[in-house]
Structure 1
Amino acid sequence: MNPEYLMRSLMFVPAHNERLMDSASRSSADVLLLDIEDSVQPVENKQVARENIIKYVKNGQFRDRVLFPRVNDRESGELLKDVYQLTIQGITGFMYPKARKGEDIYFIGKLLETIEYEKGFPNGTFKLIPLIETAGAVMNIQDICTACPNRVVAVAFGCEDFITDLGGQHDTEGESIFTARAMIAMGAKANGVVPIDTVHIKVHDLDDLENNLILSKKLGFEGMLILNPKELPLCHRYYSPSSDQVSWAEDMIRLSGEAIAQGKGVALKDNKFIGPPMVKMAK
């Protein structure tokens, strides 16, 4: 499922912190992940976070923004309160953390279906972004992507919890998470779901961020989880087509159309064949 909104940048915002919520409302992030999970402690603050989200949505501070609150997982005791209170007009969907297998996503999908029915929303109104944070989730990526076809619009990689679960170690070259990143991107693309890359933990090292974005694009990711607004300009540049890429794509489509009109199977550009895969990429 391809969403009808950009997902180049998905920025975490601790929803119990009104100063950060105010700042996020003015940011250029494509998606705001209003957090009720890990960054919201102690547990009493989770209800503060829910009430803040409702208040900010209803007073119009997040008007026309794409909002995916990150809820708590199904074993937390907080999930029902999260989704029941926040299934309101203005919320696009939910980021679901610690998804281990398709059954987790099926569970929250059915929970949302019941709440939608009770509140009078059409089935499938609220979308899902599963967060892939364990070795098991990486291995089950296709099941997670297909567990709720009318809800799962993207999957996102959480490298910190993944490395902990794996018992691995971070390295400056990113070798420890390379295989997981590749598997998540391939699993998502194989099922028409948008792959979102992990956070860049060195938030003040923009050179390192740029290196990560170059690799991320090569692997097929279409967006990234963001911790700091200063990362947004680079993120948007790399996940948007350049003017040269747009010109190349227009040439591919034009030359392919001319070849078809002339009864030819392929066209040539710069002494290179233009075949169906290149045309598909151009489109």
Structure 2
Amino acid sequence: MRARSWLFTPGDRPDRFGKAAVAGADVAVLDLEDAVAPADKIRARTAVAGALGEVKGYVRVNGVDTPWHDEDLCAVAGRPGLLGVMLPKTETPDMVDGIGVPVVALVESAAGVENAALIAARPNVVRLAFGSVDFALDVGATDDDFLYARSRLVVVSRAQGIGAPVDGVTTALDDSDRTSRDARRGRALGFAGKMCLHPRQVGPVNDAFSPTEGELAWARRVVAAAADGGAVRVDGQMIDKPRLEAARRLLKSGSRQDA
């Protein structure tokens, strides 16, 4: 529920495995897929499997259509620090079948977006994540807004009762303002977190997905004013049951992040 920032670390760089916690990331993602060259896959797998215990996190395994997928799963299965796996290029629900740990399904294609509800319905899928860069390549887009795709992942996640989805990366590594804008847009659409490529992106992402002091103050005023039930007026706005519930969720979210 608190997972706002998901920081990727290359699986062949064990010297960096502990940096997610130092950077303040909510989730470490040890990457065996895109960040690792084919010649280094076996070495990376061995390093990640050996580190799970001292390090806790998700592992992004290689896709089901690659020669490394099955051995990736076997290597990390049962490791004490494994929280789950991130499965790239998830396009159909059968791709997650047989994975005996929690799965974050990366939706990175038109087929994945089309089948998102079926994927989210699988019992081992705990979240969807939007692979926006690969999605752009798949559909031939140059704009990265993808409002329909993002909104669909939010809607099906809620409909299937799983956690809110995780938004895609911001590739501008040195532009913290861009990272912050992208993260705030994702939050406004209903995403609960965002994937990060560099430790310097963690702070802006955590801030964007955390309620501000102004939001918390508004929520406290709403809850206090609505203590007797019924619609009330707060700051010139009508507050009914849905907005009261939104205020309560903000306060609950703030208390989790303070914990």
Please tell me the TM-score bracket, short chain as reference: 0.7 to 0.9
Instruction: Please give the per-residue CA displacement for 1:50-100, whole angstroms capped at 9, x wherever unaligned.
Output: 221232234x2x2xx4x1100112221322211222121111100011100
Instruction: Kindly state the Cα deviation for residue 248 of structure 1 after the two structures are TM-superposed.
Output: 1.9
Counterpart residue number, 1:157: 130
Counterpart residue number, 1:57: 52
Counterpart residue number, 2:219: 249
Instruction: Kindly state the Cα deviation for residue 27 of structure 1 after the two structures are TM-superposed.
Output: 2.6
Counterpart residue number, 2:253: none
CA distance in structure 2 between the partners assigned to 1:102 and 1:256 by the alignment = 44
Q: Which amino acid aligns with 1:90?
A: G
CA distance in structure 2 between the partners assigned to 1:84 and 1:203 by the alignment = 33
- The answer as to whether partners of 2:20 and 2:27 remain within 8 angstroms in 1 is no
- The answer as to whether partners of 1:153 and 1:194 remain within 8 angstroms in 2 is no
Per the alignment, in what secondary structure is the counterpart of residue 45 of structure 2? helix
- The answer as to whether partners of 1:189 and 1:195 remain within 8 angstroms in 2 is no
Matched residues, number: 246
Counterpart residue number, 2:91: 100
Counterpart residue number, 1:23: 19
Instruction: Kindly state the Cα deviation for residue 229 of structure 1 after the two structures are TM-superposed.
Output: 0.7
Counterpart residue number, 1:123: none
CA gap 1:26/1:272 in 2 versus in 1, 3 angstroms? closer
CA distance in structure 2 between the partners assigned to 1:257 and 1:25 by the alignment = 40
Counterpart residue number, 2:150: 181
- The answer as to whether partners of 1:12 and 1:33 remain within 8 angstroms in 2 is yes
Counterpart residue number, 1:276: 241
TM-score by length of 1: 0.81
CA distance in structure 2 between the partners assigned to 1:268 and 1:22 by the alignment = 49
Instruction: Kindly state the Cα deviation for residue 235 of structure 1 after the two structures are TM-superposed.
Output: 0.7
Unmatched tracts of structure 2, length 5 or more:
249-259
Unmatched tracts of structure 1, length 5 or more:
113-125, 260-264
Q: Which amino acid aligns with 2:89?
A: K
Correspondent of 2:198 among 216, 228, 248: 228
RMSD of aligned alpha carbons: 1.8
Counterpart residue number, 1:118: none
CA distance in structure 2 between the partners assigned to 1:161 and 1:269 by the alignment = 44
Per the alignment, in what secondary structure is the counterpart of residue 138 of structure 1? helix
Per the alignment, in what secondary structure is the counterpart of residue 210 of structure 1? helix
Counterpart residue number, 1:262: none
CA distance in structure 2 between the partners assigned to 1:281 and 1:191 by the alignment = 20
Counterpart residue number, 1:120: none
> Of the two, which has the highest radius of gyration?
1
Residue 239 of structure 1 pairs with residue 209 of structure 2: yes
Per the alignment, in what secondary structure is the counterpart of residue 9 of structure 2? strand
Correspondent of 1:144 among 105, 119, 126: 119
Instruction: Please give the per-residue CA displacement for 1:4-26, whole angstroms capped at 9, x wherever unaligned.
Output: xx211001111111233243453
